[in-house]
Amino acid sequence: MRPQWSDLPGGVRDAVQARIGHVLKTEPVTTGLMPGLTARLYTDDHRIAFLKAVPVGSPAASLYARERETGAVLPPGLPTPRLLWSGEGEGWIVLLHEYVG
């Protein structure tokens, strides 16, 4: 079973919410190949973001780190969701993307 929003440490959830606003609701995304937490986050100002997170000890951590590095340097205008924020703390690598639905 994949981790859920509630499985993230409070400091990590706070850091995400500092970037996008208060999260009112989360919806797990169960499709895809990558392990870890994947979810749509719905904020109190009616925004939706896509969150990916994985423990730093996961075998997939290096893939998330590479995605973070790549997302930070992609030029604007490419047909891919924009990386809004990324961070690493309390044992997690976190990627926050714009949601494309």
pLDDT at 34 over 80: no
The pLDDT of residue 30? 86
Give residue 14's domain range.
5-98
| CATH number, domain containing residue 66 | 3.30.200.20
Q: What sign for the dihedral angle of Cα 94, 95, 99, 100?
A: negative
For residue 88, what are its two tokens?
Answer: 């690493």
- 3-class DSSP state for residue 71? helix
Strand runs (DSSP E) across the chain, as ranges?
23-28, 37-43, 48-55, 83-89, 92-98
The pLDDT of residue 35? 84
Q: How many domains does the chain have?
A: 1
The pLDDT of residue 50? 97
pLDDT in tens, 52-86: 999 999 999 999 999 999 988 989 889 989 999 99
pTM above 0.95, yes or no: no
pLDDT at 88 over 90: yes
For residue 61, what are its two tokens?
Answer: 């951590």
Q: What sign for the dihedral angle of Cα 42, 11, 8, 88?
A: positive
